[in-house]
Amino acid sequence: MMNEQMFFAGAPGVWRTLLVGLCAYVLLILVLRTTGKRTLSKMNAFDLIVTVALGSTLATVILSKDVALAEGVTAFVMLAGAQLAVTWLSVRSTRYRSWVKAEPTILVEGGIMLSDAMKRERVTPDEVEAAVRGAGFDGVNAVALVVLETDGSMSVVSRKNALDPDRTQKHE
């Protein structure tokens, strides 16, 4: 026999979820807007962790009667503040930046795939070739470089434009 509360535990629970969920969502948007564009930009590993944590916190605030809205907002502010602190420090300290952020990795140089770099970064030749095609080239022999950027995208530089860094195309 199924428990009726598995499907509907009563109107007060539904109303609480709607009210707290809407308030938490609006407050999360305000926190994100206050912390600036960096919080919503392309993500490195730390940014991804913060984003997942914010989403998990939002879900917990919405669905758990044991977590008050004020506690959830405190968690939002703490996570966004931690990200601000990390990005502030990484802009000002190369030592700290190297600890928090990955370095770009060259995967193709002079039209040749660098298998050791690809293995280290867990990138397959098919993924590199897809990035090259996505950037409008026939194959890796038409490019000077393919760089795995810190956000996981691949930048593709043609042999013809290798000396002009402003003409680099980015593949996502």
Per-residue pLDDT of the chain (172 residues; tens, 9 = 90+): 566 666 766 777 788 888 888 988 888 888 877 776 655 555 667 777 888 898 899 999 888 889 899 999 899 899 888 888 888 898 898 888 778 777 899 999 999 999 999 999 999 999 999 999 999 999 999 999 999 988 788 999 988 766 655 554 555 4
Which tokens go with 107?
Answer: 């995967």
φ and ψ of 101, to 5 deg: -115, 145
Q: For residue 113, give the nearest of 136, 93, 129 by alpha carbon.
A: 129
Mapping DSSP to helix (H, G, I), strand (E, B) and coil, where does residue 38 land? helix
Q: What does pTM read for this prediction?
A: 0.61
Q: In the chain, where are the structural domains located? A: 8-99, 105-171
Cβ atoms < 10 Å from Cβ of 31: 19
Architecture of domain 105-171: 2-Layer Sandwich (3.30)
Which tokens go with 168?
Answer: 């680099």
| Residue showing tokens 């007060």 | 12
